[in-house]
Structure 1
Amino acid sequence: MPSKTTKASGAEQGGQPKIPGISVYQRRGRWTFMVYLDKDPLTGKRPSIQGPVFDTDAEAFQAAVLAKAKAEENGGKKLVLPTDTVEQVVSKWLVAVKDSVKPSQYANWETNARAYVYPLIGHLPFRKADVTVLNAFYARLSNNGRIKPDNNLKMYQYWSKHRDQRDGQGPTSREIAEACGVTIHAAKAAVTRYRRGRVAEAKPTGLARKSIKNIHGMLCLVWVDVIGQGFKVDNATTNARIPKQPGRRRSRTREATWTVEHLARWLAFALRDRFYGLWVLEATTGMRRSELAGADEVRLDREKKILHVHETRVVVNGRAEDSDGKTDAGWRAISLDDFTFEVICRYIDMLHEEAKKYGKGYENPGKLAVWPDGKLVHPDTLTRRFNKLVDLAGVPKIRLHDVRHAYVTLARILGVNRKILADRVGHANETVTDTVYTHVSVGHDRELADKIGGAILEALKEAAGSELKVELEAGRVYELEAGAAPVDQRGELFAA
């Protein structure tokens, strides 16, 4: 039976802008594209680029734009020579696309190419890298593709073996660093985790399916660009398949679940931390870590109680860098409930007071994720502090990003409009049956904000065991009750 091909209208493409020469359409329930280039002045023929298949129309559209830009930029020059290997082709492609993608995306591509593609299939002639080769490549990555050493397990085993030293305090951080070949900073963080009861588990030998999908996505774009430059080769990525990894998703889903009671108990401790305003935002809006790290006071509309999410801070090769968001949908306006709005205003007042006391040397005025001297907080620091608060609260251990999942789950339980929820958390796409409006629902999430914020606040009052009160004073910025854990000048949280 022939496959069904449906050309997508602008609405079906999620409102993507129309670009001459680009056609995005459905094929066998997934999305692909066709790019038509300018006519050849000699032959009169119009070259075209047939794209691979993608899960969403947005992915197909972005790949089509990149393919068209690269084809036009190279002006007909061949990206590939007949004798080129896979490594040579991918290397040339990375050079060609470097200035047209975000630094974080480029860094991920380059890392994946050097760590996985070049060592395993980089030596093969590009012409011979067919679907059979790619399927074998993905299978190898799935089974035993992990190349990074499991330093956390190595440190934990050393610490467990010597934990009776120094009257039960265990080995020093320096001893662990020297024995395991890690930095002193990694060893210190590890000791803190182990003393709080975090047990290191052996990582699987294979790469996660998501990591393999990222590598596959990069190779899809490589083949599209190569074919677009007139190189006669089949698109090996179109029919390549990524192996399934039974049990992983189910296990992760169980671990990444918080009830509203868990969320409230964590928040009761998080309110005593220096960055309490950011934690409340995370709990009541589901913002991404990069969005919390890049939040700016100027984006807060106090009159309408709306926070505009624009700037973000991401980690590229270990360094924090400014970015403009994960997707276009990431630029959004979030309504704040009364509880969240009051907390964030008091948090900003605290930052203003710190800036006033510090004086002329204060850095980054207006940013919300800063130390008392105004220096920006590294996004990874937010993750470490979150993990500390999770341990202190005694709730199930999840990732910081999973608080976002818990927020969405709570919203679904409360029966909120799914289209408005997708706009609020910055999701780029939703299913056709959930598409209620064709425009972004700016301001329409007020009822959603009040409903979820109210549910969290009621659970928080019960978890705290007393009426909430806000105090701005040295050492305690948001106090639930007498005897709250103190906060030092650098914002370190100590267990009571």
Structure 2
Amino acid sequence: MVGADGKLAVRRLGVKCPRLRRGFGWNPRHGTWYFQYDHADAVGSRVVVSFGSLATRAEAEDQLAAVRRLLGIADELGEDPQAVADLRVQIAARIKLDHKAGLGLPEFEAMRRAVLAGVPVTEHLTVGQWLNEWLAGKTALSVATRRMYASQVRTYLIPHLGRIPLDRLRVAHVTAMFDAIAREAAAAEANNAARREADAARKAAWARGDHAAWREAKDRLAGLPAFRPPCHAATRFRLRSALRSALSAACAQQLVTVNVAALAEIGSGRSPKALVWTAERVAYWQATGNRPSAVMVWTAEQTRQFLDRAVRHEWYALYLLVACTGLRRGEACGLRWIDVDLDARMLSPAKQRVQNGWEVLETDLKSDASERDVGLADQVAEALRAQRDWQQDVRERAGSAWTETGLVFTTADGAGLHPAKVTAQFQQLAREAGLPPVRLHDLRHGAASLALAAGVDLKVVSDMLGHSGTAITRDIYTSVYDELKHAAAAAIAAAINGARPASSPVGRSRRTVKPLAATA
């Protein structure tokens, strides 16, 4: 059609389009369908909902029926006509909001629950908003747990799920998130391994004076992305636990009916197996820069080598205490003299010093099981006596500058130790001793393994570590040494030898039976 100005004029024909009809019916291959629902309440309130771009008449009729059913929820509110009319307007606004956002119609049961629970239906509560609200309400959490939850929400949950409406969250969303996190973790591990390999090549080239190789390795290292810690399987398992807890709270408030986090399959959440730094693993680490496992523990000889290096350091007693008793870092830093009985060679940790960012807080212990009595070896008791003498000496020299905290391990002015500095000093001493790397927490793993290798009962070790049950000790902290395996093999062989005679008759002759020897 050409207008008066000679330009092509375009206008919508609507139902007057001649191609919409075919014979005595509608043409299914041309045009789209729309519906309109118009409702007037007795109080004069009017609700109009209309959608278009529907492919078939049946689809339009289904959508109309669904809208009518959703708006009918308002009738369940009661007999107050004005309240019913106001709620119907709110439901209509929510329907239009979801349609505009491309979310389709709200789910009937979710809308009905929100109405009956008194939740404003026009507010589109997202997963991110709920996670922040849930975290703010968890006032009873320990500092460490709150920090862990906040990090998980900020780093993983909100970036992946935050924009999804809470009542639209599905198992598929959660599964897709964990699949993406697993892919990111694999990429991070590959990049970190490449960085360690390039760094080892750079150091080796420098040591042998090969400047060309050193420059090549240095450039290769500079071209790689920065080191980033991967989200391991155990971390993903804890992440799912946090999301499950948040959605359980949402279920309790009738915001959702199904905890989709509990239904998502993410594989095993077992912690990495603790491995011992054998000579072969040390050689592998020296050649590649890669640790065989995320959790590595020293042998008894390596632990002794570290303590020999640390013996002249003012925190020697702390490191010896952790290595021999398996105290957590926060428990050792928060240990008070009133919790120690050197004559009875016992201590009973009651407080811990933990980090909240860089700030250090004194809090109660991790759990009821953490409140325990721990026996002390003579060597540890003597080291604590020496620590008490050292503290008395520096207290007298500090005079009025001394801060009385009652802590066993302090700075020269009586202040408590910063846990991060204790870890940094531990790592420095380990490097100076020429030892393969372990975390300070791995001294706790080592204490459990050495105790088990020495034949200490699993229940006793579990109590020493402050675990709520032996299953935790067995699954997380038991690194079985070669010596323990040899002892098991020797015990089996000894039992067999004790039950079988050294010789037995065979036919008319006698054959000597050699005793079984223990093998690895």
> Is the structural similarity TM-score above 0.5?
yes
SS at 1:376's partner residue? coil
Partner residue, 1:384: 424
- Relative to structure 1, is the Cα distance of residues 310 and 146 closer, same or farther in structure 2, using a 3 angstrom cutoff? farther
Select 1:96's aligned residue among 103, 126, 137. Answer: 137
Contact 1:142–1:243 (8 Å) recurs in 2 = no
- The change in CA–CA distance for 1:298 and 1:404 in structure 2 (over 3 A counts) is same
Equivalent residue letter for 1:225? A
* Distance change (3 Å), C-alpha of 1:403 and 1:339: same
Aligned equivalents of 2:226 and 2:383: distance in 1?
40
Q: After TM superposition, give the deviation of residue 132 of structure 1 in Å.
A: 1.4
Q: State the partner residue of 1:413.
A: 453
Q: Secondary structure at the match of 1:368?
A: coil
Structure-to-structure mapping, 1:71-110, within 5 angstroms: 83-97=124-138, 99-110=139-150
TM-score scaled by length of structure 2: 0.56
Matched positions, count: 329
Specify the alignment match of 2:374 in structure 1.
334
Aligned match of 2:96: none
Q: Which residues of 2 match residues 18-57 of structure 1 at below 5 A? A: none
Correspondence list, 1:124-135, <5 A: 124-135=164-175
| Structure 1 position 311, deviation (Å) | 0.8
- Aligned partner of 2:315 among 275, 294, 297: 275
Residues 332 and 160 from structure 1, CA distance in 2 versus in 1: closer, same or farther, beyond 3 angstroms?
same
Displacement of 1:354 in angstroms is 0.4
Pair 81,330 (structure 1): closer, same or farther in 2 beyond 3 Å: farther
Alignment of 1:352-363 (within 5 A): 352-363=392-403
1:420–1:81 Cα change, 3 Å: farther
SS of structure 2 residue aligned to 1:238: helix
Distance 1:226 1:294 in 2: 37
Kept in 2, the 8 Å contact 1:90–1:113? The answer is yes
Tell me the secondary structure at the aligned position of residue 263 of structure 2. coil
Q: Is the 8 A contact 1:290 1:313 kept in 2?
A: yes
The equivalent of 2:464 in structure 1 is: 424
Counterpart AA for 1:109? Y
Shift of 1:246: 11
Whole-angstrom distance in 1 between the partners of 2:186 and 2:121:
30
Which among 228, 232, 236 is matched to residue 212 of structure 1? 236
CA distance change for structure 1 residues 304 and 134 in 2, over 3 Å: closer, same or farther?
Answer: same
Task: Find the counterpart in structure 2 of residue 349 from structure 1.
Answer: 389
CA RMSD across the alignment: 3.9
- C-alpha displacement of 1:273: 0.9
Q: CA deviation at 1:232?
A: 4.1
For 1:116 and 1:327, the matched residues in 2 are separated by: 27
Q: Counterparts of 1:432 and 1:107 in 2: how far apart (Å)?
A: 23
Amino acid at match of 1:91: N
Cα deviation 1:36-69 (Å, max 9, x = unaligned): xxxxxxxxxxxxxxxxxxxxxxxxxxxxxxxxxx
Q: Is the 8 A contact 1:139 1:243 kept in 2?
A: no
Question: Which letter does structure 1 place at the counterpart of 2:367?
Answer: T
Task: Tell me the CA shift for residue 319 of structure 1.
Answer: 2.0
Q: Tell me the secondary structure at the aligned position of residue 374 of structure 1.
A: coil
User: Which has more radius of gyration?
Assistant: 2
Change (3 A) 1:250 1:295: closer
8 Å contact kept, 2:237–2:268: no
Corresponding residue for 1:239?
263
In the alignment, is the contact (CA less than 8 A) between 1:82 and 1:127 conserved in 2? no
Amino acid corresponding to residue 362 of structure 2 in structure 1: D
Following the alignment from structure 1 to structure 2, what is the Cα–Cα distance between the partners of residues 376 and 219? Answer: 35
Structure 2, unaligned stretches of length 5 or more? 1-116, 210-221, 276-291, 475-520
Could you say what secondary structure the match of 2:354 adopts?
Answer: strand
SS in 2 for 1:315: strand
**Cα gap change, 1:373/1:419 in structure 2, threshold over 3 Å: closer, same or farther?**
same
CA distance in 1 between partners of 2:152 and 2:311 (Å): 39
Alpha carbons of structure 1 residues 232 and 400: separation in structure 2 relative to 1, 3 Å: closer
Is the CA contact (8 Å cut-off) linking 1:144 and 1:205 kept in structure 2?
no
Question: Given residue 252 of structure 2, which amino acid in structure 1 is its aligned partner?
Answer: G
Query: In the TM superposition, what is the alpha-carbon distance from 1:148 to its structure 2 partner?
Result: 10
Alpha-carbon spacing, 1:366–1:138, altered in 2? closer, same or farther (3 Å): same
Distance 2:472 2:407 in 1: 38
Q: What SS does structure 2 have at the residue aligned with 1:313?
A: strand
Hey, what does 1:119 align to over in structure 2?
159
Answer yes or no: is the 8 Å Cα contact 2:234–2:272 preserved in 1: no
Q: Is the 8 A contact 2:372 2:463 kept in 1?
A: yes
Q: Provide closer, same or farther for how the CA distance between residues 247 and 317 of structure 1 changes in structure 2, counting only shifts above 3 A.
A: closer
Residues 250, 203 of structure 1: alpha-carbon distance in 2 compared, 3 angstrom cutoff: farther
Partner Cα distance (2:308, 2:473) in 1: 38
Cα distance in structure 1, aligned partners of 2:176 and 2:257 = 19
Counterpart CA distance in 2 for 1:227 and 1:217 is: 15
Contact 1:283 1:407 in 2 (8 A): yes
1:222 counterpart residue number: 246
Q: Are 2:185 and 2:230, in contact at CA under 8 Å, matched by a contact in 1?
A: yes
Q: Which amino acid aligns with 2:368?
A: D
Cα gap change, 1:154/1:363 in structure 2, threshold over 3 Å: closer, same or farther?
A: farther
| Cα distance in 2 between the residues matched to 1:145 and 1:81 | 39
Paired with 2:226 and 2:268, the residues of 1 have a C-alpha distance of 20
Identity %: 23
- 1:256-310 superposed Cα distances (whole Å, 9 cap, x missing partner): 1321111111111111111111111112111111111111111111331211111
**1:126/1:201 CA distance change after superposition, 3 Å:** closer
Q: Deviation digits for residues 119-165 of structure 1, max 9, x if unmatched?
A: 1110111122121111111111121169999999999989998998x
User: Could you tell me the TM-score, scaled by structure 1's length?
Assistant: 0.59
Is contact 2:273–2:295 with CA below 8 Å preserved after alignment? no
